[in-house]
Structure 1
Amino acid sequence: MATLDPSCDVCLNLHVTKSAIVWCSECEEAICEECQQRHRIQNVTKNHKTTPIEDYQELPIYIANIKLECEDHNQKLDFFCSIHSEPCCTRCVFEKHKDCRELKPLPEVVEGVKSSAAFSDLEDRVKDMSQVIGQLIAEKLYHQSNLEVQSHTIITEVERVRKAINKHLNSIQNDLLHKIATTKGQQSENIDLLVRKLSQMKTNIAEIASGLEKTKQYASDYQTFLGIRKLIPEIENQEQDVISIESDHGMADVDLQLKMNKILDKMETNVSEFGRLEIYFSPPTKFALRKESQGQILLIPSSRCLSKLKLSKIRSFDIHKEESKRGENNFITGCDMFEDNRIVLIDKQNNRLVIHKEGFFIKQIRFEDTPLDVTIIDLNTVAVTFVEKKTISLVDVISSKILKTIFLVNKCFGICSFSGKLVVSLNYKIIKILDRSGTVESAVSKKDNATYCSVMNDKMWYAAQAKGLIYCCDLNGSVQWKFSCGKSDHPQGIAHDAFGNVFVTCENANKVIIINSNGTESRVLLTSDDGLTKPIAVHYNRKTDILLVCNKFGRCFMYKVQATN
């Protein structure tokens, strides 16, 4: 900025110090109040424009230091040489510019410079660079906040897996303990039975031994002789029972031993980590500044190679089900995602908007009419289309209240938002762009009937399901390219990433394809092998690179999309 508290230059020449109140750019002098009065009435200076000194002090130093006096000759700069692009005095003209034919009086050259295209161009470029930097800062701050969300998601998943492992280990431990108790009980019962049998045999033997002892003591020889003949078969039977029980399987010694599962036995040594935390560094978005006819600067990210895209599954989940009044299942026709990872979905069959987060049901909002699609327009507000009612409703998802209803003359199908505008696909091959108040700003003609559309900067995409064509056009409807994926595929939902690549759900083919920004290449990303069955709704979060795909009857899939080296 210019020097603070300048003194009056006129008074300084008289060795008097007074504070200046204005600056004269033509005299290149600071002037006090008293001198200003003479400055206004003198013929030489009365037409000079002055600037309040406090405003002059706001000038950048490099502007304030620009003088109207030639540094080489100390004369006033009166001309401007367009060939050398420099101001010059009369001596400069004579010494260095006498052969230059592009000399013009300096006052003519500088007249209207502040309203010139060159000055406006500089203002636009500075403004747009500031916006770009602001966007970059906002993007990095968003990614920083998203680290907290990702961290919470990972911790939740770790705790879920840990609980599942603990539950499973408790279950198989209880099964084993039950088996141990049952086996121990069975073997103890067998031993008890055998002991009782042996005890009875021992009793029988003891009775025979006692009988022999008493016979020996008190019986006559005749009685003894005849008694021995009767005892011999009995003793032989007892001997046979003893021999028989020795070979009984029940006489085997029982040892209970545990052979540990090899995985569990070596868990401490083989399982050294709960999971591997992987950090993926996606290539940073490369921006180039490009001037458009309206003086705007657009962010043009570098392209992505489709073959190097990698999808990592985050989760799959089923939409909260409710018994349909018509006795049918869910019918998911639209989806979008808030920055805090809340997911909003349209269940056309049950006239409701359903909200999930991290796979868990949060709430639902019911409507009297049948909705078709949804798009997020701010932190807690969504726009919902109603086909037959020909309306768009702005809904607060916290209070579940309809804030505003926009009435149109056509049936409303797919909807998306960009730059604070609503873009809705209508029947009769029309797409309209509206502001949030419902004012129609422009209408774009479609080449074919299409339910869904997607917009980024100056491009628009829509899928003509009946013909199997994907169109890319400008905001005036002029087709830039079209891609055929086959009539039988029935392309439906459409979304795009930050690079202009387009994701399309093919309902009848049970797949999701991606088409590059030029419409020259494509790749199948997901198929029925990944669980797709009649996919319709699709959304791509361009800040987190998360792809959300929903089957018609309520199964949803979330994938992280990354570029590999």
Structure 2
Amino acid sequence: MKISRDHNFITIEEYRTIETVNVRFECEEHGSKLEMYCKLHEMAICIACFPTKHKGCSDSIIPLAEAAKNAKTSTALADLEHTSTINNTLEHIKEFVKAHETAEERIVTQEMVMKKMISDTGLNINKHLDDLERKLLNELTTTSTSCKSNYSKLQNQLSNVEKKIESLQEQTTQLKHYAPDLHVFLSTHQMNKEVHDEVNVIKEAIRSFKNYNIEIEIHQGITSLLKDVNFFARIKGDESTLSCPFEGSKIDQAQMPVQTRRSVHDTRLQLIKKIAIKQKGKEMYISGCTILANGNLLIADNEGQNVLMRYNEDGYFIHTIPVSATPYDLTVIDTDHIAVSYNTLNYIEVIDIRKMIVLKTVKFKNNCWGISYSDGKIYVVVRYEGIVVLDIEGTILNTVKCSIDVSNITTIDKRVYYTRQNQGSVHCCRITGDEIWDFNDKTPSTPRGILQPKIRTCLLWVINRIIF
């Protein structure tokens, strides 16, 4: 039929997977059918909305069907399906659930330790303190029960929100595969708002929640001044607020088509400049290189002396920077500071290159290879362990599991780029370790160093052992 010439068909079974998704086709304010879309305000509107609220938007008003043409490939749907709106929210919820499970276990452990301490102390005193001991145990039980109860309340709330978010995630996938564009377009806006509302619920709960830590203080004179002591010990509940990593959801993001990017496998390397490095010994093994803010190059020779070589951007040698041992790799932290790894010596250093002093040394159990800095964190490839993530003070935050033959890395926008010299490949993964893509160089060269230049791309340095 002419009226259904452009209609698409899906099976009844497929429709049943999306029929429970609540999508509004009428204007909430006027009750009229949504027929137009305002690109300026990024919202669907009805005929009555136009003269009342969008009179000055005439150049931005288009038919709703036209706006919905690219709904399944829009940035808004991609964000809802894959990025911060749902996935990051679920990740944060899981992190909070795990953190609160650990906190509750800590309370239980503290309670057990304190009970033993109370019991051991009670064995050495007389019957006069029995009543005080019972009161203290009751106080401890009451305090710990109150703490655990509060943890359970927040955990239940997070669990309920998690289920709602997971349901929205499933509905998003089903909508993308089976629903018509108009259905997807309207539901994307509305589901974004639902996720936003759930995030606000979590944020409010976290802001009002207190983190607990219970302690005990044993009276110093309890063994010698029994007659003068009128309390056995004190139970203290230590409270602290929780950090909230949730950011506002992108409710009003325009549903524009996702731009198709060129595949990494179609990438062709082009030589821009070649720099001749001055020979410093019988053998050179250039294992690391980085670019300073002023464009100068710092180069590490793993077969050379205990220095870093500094060149200007035209390849002219400037001077050397002394370090504590033969360097393997290095990365820029800021204008005056760098971090250096020392391979088989199993440690890294944070160095002030202006004052020529070592600010921090961090030791590991195994060899330290590639090193990178991003967003206040240092990433180090440690053999047999993976990519170890540290803060600027040297505290280990977590470890990203990866292949054993990873050599050099760089980090950009919560992604890790690394080389596998034995495989002749370059890889990209998330900071969780999930691989995004890989690139195999067809030439016989072995990929080693990988740099982060000033633009948002990666520069691959193919460096081999060179005998002079």
* TM bracket, shorter-chain basis: 0.3 to 0.5
TM-score relative to the length of structure 1: 0.35
Q: TM-score, normalised by structure 2?
A: 0.42
Q: Which protein, 1 or 2, shows the higher relative CO under an 8 Å CA cutoff with sep ≥ 6?
A: 2
